[in-house]
Structure 1
Amino acid sequence: MMGRRSETMAETREKLIAAARKTFAARGFVDSPMEDITAEAGLTRGALYHQFGGKKGLLEAVIEKIDAEMTERLSVISSRATSTWAALIDELVAYVAMAAEPEIQRIVLLDGPAVLGEPSQWPTQIACVRNTRRHIERLIEEGVVQPVDAEATARLVSAAALGASLWVANSEDPHVSSRRVSESLPVLLSGLLVRDPQVGGQ
């Protein structure tokens, strides 16, 4: 009996997240009444409050869902890289490029900071810093990157990527801005290298 109840609660949660994701992407957070979201999900406002505490909590859940998908996509991109250095660059460039995708642009990078506050303090961004630090530490061990402070460097790199993503999302032409970042970011990060990245197998 408890198992079925848990399953029903999970289904309710997923329905609300899916409905909110669709509505937020189309209209934005401010112009998405809870009544429209619950109608889209075929549920009640009570269910929304019970699961998320309100529309803000629902937005957090939607961003968490999208971020998990982004992380999976970046993991695939990283796994295809020919070196640790290439994996770092490819992940960062791809992360910024995602800012030009309408759903990510609207929900994560425009509505997210406006409603939830400074994105550098979100759990997802803190996880990004940890992932970048692991890349930096491995590159130092491989002798590809100078023996810098891995924590400080990871925070600087992550801040640059996040800042670039926010710029892309707020620009008049996100795709053009994304291409500009993809050309500039590797040049900026090349200052970390001990040797030419071609030696590292890029």
Structure 2
Amino acid sequence: MARRTRADMQATRASLLTTARKFFCDAGYAATSMDELTAQAGLTRGALYHHFGDKKGLLAAVVEQIDAEMDERLQAISHHAKDPWLGFRRRCRAYLEMALEPEYQRIVLRDAKAVLGGASPESQRHCVASMQTQLETLIAQGLVAKAHPQALASLIYGSLAEAAFWIADGEDGDTRLKQSTTALELLLRGLHTPA
């Protein structure tokens, strides 16, 4: 039997992730059959087990991929804003808006919470650290009241994460998003120290 190259292994992994994202988004984690998923990807269950261990491992990898893409989107929002405070506000709001995106809502906010217990500790640390860096800059520029940046980042991240779960959990997501963004603006106004 021919030995598989690194490129072959990466292509197999990518194919499983792409197919799993579609299945998990369309049918949900519980209703996704590994036999159907691997058949759709043109692979065997052995390939899935080799790369991800099991169905739960595949879900964790899909969540990690979606989280990384979401982080890139949020970083771009901050980077392209006219000023740092506006960028921070838009980034927080965008995080809440993502709770209504079908793929993010179904896979990350519903299934990952139920199956994996939510975001991985590494993902949470990364989100808090990214927010902390932004807050340190805003505090140094006098745009946010002086406070411990990591404590502040943890509180804001926790609030956003819980609000996103709440938005995703109801049939009235649009209403919940409006209520959450109104509350977010109130919260952020309390931090802002206009020049």
Task: Describe the SS at the equivalent of 2:144.
Answer: coil
The normalised TM-score by structure 2 is 0.94
Q: CA RMSD, aligned part only?
A: 1.5
- Deviation larger for 65-74 or 144-153: 65-74
Contact in 2 for aligned 1:99/1:109 (Cα 8 Å): yes
Task: Describe the SS at the equivalent of 1:143.
Answer: coil
Number of matched residues?
193
Q: Measure, in 2, the Cα distance between the counterparts of 1:16 and 1:66.
A: 14
Contact in 1 for aligned 2:100/2:168 (Cα 8 Å): yes
What is the 5 A alignment of 1:159-174? 159-174=158-173
How far did residue 183 of structure 1 move?
2.1
How far did residue 72 of structure 1 move?
1.7
Q: Deviations over 1:146-168 (max 9, x none)?
A: 11011110000000010110001
Q: Measure, in 2, the Cα distance between the counterparts of 1:185 and 1:118.
A: 22
Task: Describe the SS at the equivalent of 1:17.
Answer: helix
How far did residue 80 of structure 1 move?
2.1
Partner letter of residue 15 of structure 2? K
Q: Measure, in 1, the Cα distance between the counterparts of 2:152 and 2:75.
A: 21
Match of 1:125 in 2: 124
Match of 2:17 in 1: 17
Structure 1 unaligned spans of 5+: none
Of structures 1 and 2, the one with the larger relative CO (CA 8 A, separation 6+) is: 1
How far did residue 178 of structure 1 move?
1.5
Match of 2:72 in 1: 72
Q: Measure, in 2, the Cα distance between the counterparts of 1:101 and 1:133.
A: 26
Partner letter of residue 20 of structure 1? A
Match of 2:63 in 1: 63
Q: Measure, in 2, the Cα distance between the counterparts of 1:118 and 1:64.
A: 11
Contact in 2 for aligned 1:97/1:175 (Cα 8 Å): no
Percent identical pairs in the alignment equals 43
What is the 5 A alignment of 1:16-165? 16-119=16-119, 121-165=120-164
Task: Describe the SS at the equivalent of 1:99.
Answer: helix
Q: Measure, in 2, the Cα distance between the counterparts of 1:164 and 1:87.
A: 20
Q: Deviations over 1:112-131 (max 9, x none)?
A: 01111143x53222211001
The normalised TM-score by structure 1 is 0.91
- Deviation larger for 93-102 or 62-71: 62-71
Distance change >3 Å, CA 168–CA 71, structure 1 → 2:
same
Task: Describe the SS at the equivalent of 2:31.
Answer: coil
How far did residue 41 of structure 1 move?
0.5
Q: Measure, in 2, the Cα distance between the counterparts of 1:118 and 1:102.
A: 17
How far did residue 4 of structure 1 move?
6.5
Match of 2:178 in 1: 179
Match of 1:194 in 2: 193
